[in-house]
Amino acid sequence: MTALIHGQDLYRSFGQTPALQGATLSVAAGEIVAVMGPSGSGKSTLLHCLAGIFAPDRGEVWFDGRRLDKMSDTTRTRLRRTDFGFVFQFGQLVPELTVADNVAIPRLLGRVSRKRAYAQAMSWLDRLGLGDLSGRRTGELSGGQAQRVAVARALVSGPRVLFADEPTGSLDSATGDQVMELLVAAARQEQAAVVLVTHDSRVARSADRIVSVHDGRVVEPENVRATAARFTEARFTEARFTEARAEGAR
């Protein structure tokens, strides 16, 4: 499978704190990959490096056959606007603006006419069941509604990659499930690849593939399975031991 986005042997530190220590991850066009792992393991830093928001200290980031980390700031910013969409934990909407304004912003920044930008925004709001809220200020929305607006804003420019960092992290699980369902369905319809950072296995279930980050490195699924198998084996041994001890006591 050809990678649309690929991070190779990425290193990144913050002062003395190493966040990435040789992380490698490839995501194919249209593929949804969940990036799991404990808090502080480097998931967000990996997402930020792949999206060209942080430059890695070492390693390479490729997008569609081009070196993202070698691009000028202007080129990278333009590419982020046209080819990438973002959903973060706390929507990061502009609370004083309306729902429609928030979703139209990426198009207006992309120099699309006002009329077209708002028409595209409205079409996305309708798709996500938010049409009736278009005139509301986003500061007045519930958490779930705000995240759905964030999904519309992330997809309105037709990105090839959607980066989502704990998109349901601030929602209760029922609302989180609804937002994830919409996000995944919309991304699949648009054939956008998704890099989904989450510590929640319920959320990760909707991905095509799950990778795990530990100490700044990506553990591929085979290894995750092997780790899980060892874990199960250890639990089994422990259970057998407890059982045997109980038998011994009888």
For residue 26, state whether it binds ligand ADP (rule: CB under 6 A). no
For residue 147, state whether it binds ligand ADP (rule: CB under 6 A). no
CB atoms within 10 A of CB 224: 15
CA–chain centroid gap for 195, Å, is 4
Nearest by Cα to 90 from 154, 134, 147? 147
d(CA 24, CA 203): 22
Q: Which is nearer to ligand ADP, 42 or 59 (CB)?
A: 42
Choice from 19, 34, 133, 204 touching ligand ADP (CB under 6 A): 19
For residue 217, state whether it binds ligand ADP (rule: CB under 6 A). no
Choice from 10, 33, 37, 180 touching ligand ADP (CB under 6 A): 37
Closest distance to ligand ADP from the beta carbon of 196 (Å)? 12
């998109």: which residue's tokens?
167
Q: Which is nearer to ligand ADP, 13 or 175 (CB)?
A: 13
Q: Which is nearer to ligand ADP, 127 or 214 (CB)?
A: 214
CB atoms within 10 A of CB 241: 10
Torsion angles phi and psi, residue 129, rounded to 5: 70, 30
For residue 45, state whether it binds ligand ADP (rule: CB under 6 A). yes
For residue 16, state whether it binds ligand ADP (rule: CB under 6 A). no
DSSP 3-state assignment of 200?
coil
Closest distance to ligand ADP from the beta carbon of 199 (Å)? 8
Tokens standing for residue 100: 């429609």
For binding to ligand ADP (CB under 6 A), which residues are involved?
14, 17, 19, 37, 39-45
